[in-house]
Amino acid sequence: MFVFFSTCTVYLVLFGSTQADENSCGLSMTWLETVSVTMDVSKNGFHRDLVTTVDFGPGFPDGLEALLVHRLPSGIYIDQYQLASLKEDTGLQVLLGSVVDLEAPAHTSEEFIVLVYPALDQGSLKATLPIHGRYHKPSLAGKRFELVEIKLPKLILRTDTCTQLISFPPYKIVDAPCTVHNLSICQWLDIQHLQEQDPVSLEIPLGDGSLVEPVCAGTLLVTLLCCVILSRSIWRHGVF
Amino acid sequence: MASIMESVLSKLMNKNVLFTVSFLVRLVLVSFGVYQDRTMVVKYTDVDYHVFTDASKFITQGQSPYHRSTYRYTPLLAWILTPNVYLSHVFGKLLFITCDVLSGHLIYLILRQRGLSCEAACRVCSLWLLNPLPAGVSSRGNAESVLTALVLATLLCLELRQLPMAAILYGLAVHMKIYPVTYALPIALSLQRKENGEERRGGWWRRALGFLLRLLNKELFLFAGVAGVVFCGLTVLFYSMYGWDFLHETYLYHLTRRDIRHNFSPYFYMLYLTADSPWSLALGLAAFLPQALLLLLVSLAFHTDLALCCFLHTAIFVSFNKVCTSQYFLWYLCLFPLVLPRLTLSPKQGVELLALWFAGQGIWLAPAYYLEFEGYNTFLLIWLAGLIFLIINSFIMVQIITHYKPSDTMQRLKAE
């Protein structure tokens, strides 16, 4: 069952530790450097899939847990009820940082945080998150599409065998819910070098604001015409 | 081959066979839905059905059904569907297909009341019962069939002059979905006392006064009183339980709804482009006027034939509405079989009009698909298609009005 805690605030607190250690709970620096994250958007139109793939090199630590922290822009939304049904079908585990309005346009919405707990599968993991484009304000400058950029998620890792992580530069320790059930907070190692890839983007069609006058005139003309034609027919055949 | 088809068809037109087959077809669809939901990525069940079930879950936990976002219905529906949580997830679907077949039965009874033979009534009824659209909609878990049953039952009771029952059903129907509130005027007009010869003489103000006196009679007060008590009683009950959320989600949202996302309405693009402009309110009013004017005119013109009047009412309401999605079409389609037997259109003309109606939807669906699923900027085409669809709908309504052979009473009134 997908549990959604509206009170959940996802906070990532930096620990000021400066201790240099090449190895923290089996997460060694050399192994961490083999980790790579790629993200892609599949499908077209307003309903897309955000596919994130994480590849790990050999030497996979035991009991590794991964968490993808997405900060998604106001131009898109995620349907928590669709996620609930997906959880039953594919086992996708997602925690939303705030309540998401499914119907508001982009300019009245805010960016939001999504935590994805992907299942690890032999040296790599893949999470497919369904996202939906929001309607945007019509463009007055003749722009036909709005480019919505989605930044790469932050990947954070921990091992369930070890509770006391030690940070070592450039990796920092952050706090985040241990599991999708959001019952306790764990320490995770923030994998920093991954933030360099360009964001992926999707195009959302925009209404043409420069056409507002002909569109209004055309709409009112046609509806008035239909109204007159129908009225005439009703007047002729009705009993008054 | 043709003779086998004929014998199958004639058997199907037997009332009991027709209703049994219709119910079985819907049961098969529900079972297929369970199978498809389990095994395929594309789900059979309507999204709204999950919304209802989630709302029922909140009810069983002693909470407000409005904790489920996008639940915009009466709490009564969530209450009725609590067996979805306690008994089985398909309970609601079984209820909806039962209401769907019941709607067919009500159509049959109204047609019989309007003088059709048993066989002719079955034939017309099969247009609803064997129609894939209502069968699909109800078996997918959409609650429209509850409303079609309530509206048809109201009309049947009015035909039978069982006013208290009609009023209870009407009050309930308006509570379930706000749109039948527009039937209040034709119903009130149909309840007016007959005009006598003396009243027909005199100046316009005397005639107007006579009309008002005829309108305000005992039957109207009875109907309005009972329907009002049912509607207000339910409103007060649920307001005391769920507060402002209930009023907003059940009534106000639907009255003030301004969905800027693409839909069949001719007004969609205009409302999207002017959503934040200062004349948005004026334009909303300008869009409301043709709808209101036509509803008033139809009520005055056809109230002596309530079935025709309600059909035209709903078709106009939906076609000229600021938001229109395909489930709204069911609102008037359920009343169409009542009108059909009195249409003097040839079968060829009928098929042509039907094809035209589907073509109108096709013209809209193509650019809407390219916008939504391919990301092409087709807003302008969707707007034009919406206007064409309105023109087509208006044309079909004009054809129905001109080819409608009124009942004897209506003809007599017209002659007078």
Instruction: Show the tokens assigned to A48.
Output: 């897309």
Type of residue numbered B298: V
Interior angle at CA A131, CA A129 and CA A133, nearest 5: 165
In this complex, do B413 and A233 lie within 8 Å of one another by their Cβ atoms?
A: no
Q: Is residue B32 part of a domain?
A: no
Q: What is the pLDDT of residue B416?
A: 58
Taking a contact as any Cβ pair under 8 Å apart, which residues of chain A between 161 and 200 contact chain B?
A: none
In this complex, do B379 and A145 lie within 8 Å of one another by their Cβ atoms?
A: no
Q: Is residue B398 part of a domain?
A: yes
| SS3 track for chain B | CHHHHHHHHHHHCCHHHHHHHHHHHHHHHHHHHHHHHHHCCCCCCCHHHHHHHHHHHHHHCCCCHHHCCCCCCCHHHHHHCCHHHHCCCCHHHHHHHHHHHHHHHHHHHHHHHCCCCHHHHHHHHHHHHCCHHHHHHHHCCCCHHHHHHHHHHHHHHHHCCCHHHHHHHHHHHHHHCCHHHHHHHHHHHHCCCCCCHHHHCCCHHHHHHHHHHHHCCHHHHHHHHHHHHHHHHHHHHHHHHHCHHHHHHHHHHHHHCCCCCCCCCCCHHHHHHCCCCCCHHHHHHHHHHHHHHHHHHHHHHHCCCHHHHHHHHHHHHHHCCCCCCHHHHHHHHCCHHHHHHHECCCHHHHHHHHHHHHHHHHHHHHHHHHHHHHCCCCHHHHHHHHHHHHHHHHHHHHHHHHCECCCHHHHHHHHC
Among candidates A103, A216, A236 on the partner chain, residue whose Cβ is nearest the Cβ of B270 = A216
Domain of B380? 257-409
Selected for mutation to probe chain B from A48, A81, A219 (highest B CB count within 10 Å) is: A219
Q: Is residue B416 part of a domain?
A: no
Q: Is residue B391 part of a domain?
A: yes
Q: Is B294 on the interface with A (CB under 8 A)?
A: yes
User: What's the CA gap between B184 and A198, in Å, rounded?
Assistant: 60
- Whether pLDDT at A3 is above 70: no
Global pTM reads 0.89
pLDDT tens-digit map of B39-91: 887 789 988 999 999 999 999 999 999 998 889 999 999 999 999 999 999 99
Q: Which of A158, A168, A170 is nearest to A23 (CA)?
A: A168
CATH of domain A29-214: 2.60.40
In this complex, do B371 and A204 lie within 8 Å of one another by their Cβ atoms?
A: no
Q: Is residue B322 part of a domain?
A: yes
pLDDT more than 70, % of chain B:
95
Q: Give the ipTM.
A: 0.89
User: What's the CA gap between A51 and A160, in Å, rounded?
Assistant: 25
Beta pairing partners, A201: A149
pLDDT more than 90, % of chain B:
75
pLDDT more than 70, % of chain A:
88
Among candidates B69, B266, B402 on the partner chain, residue whose Cβ is nearest the Cβ of A222 = B266
B397 contacts in chain A (CB < 8 Å): 230, 233
Instruction: Show the tokens assigned to B31.
Output: 């079972």
Beta pairing partners, A96: A114
Q: How many CB atoms lie within 10 A of CB A56?
A: 20
Q: What is the pLDDT of residue B292?
A: 95
Q: What is the pLDDT of residue A1?
A: 32
Q: Is residue B279 part of a domain?
A: yes
Q: Is residue B150 part of a domain?
A: no
Q: Which of B386, B367, B365, B255 is nearest to B320 (CA)?
A: B386
Query: What's the average model confidence in pLDDT over A29-36?
Result: 83
Domain count, chain B: 1
Q: Where are the domains of chain A?
A: 29-214
More confident residue, A98 or B293: B293
pLDDT tens-digit map of B333-355: 999 999 999 999 999 999 999 99
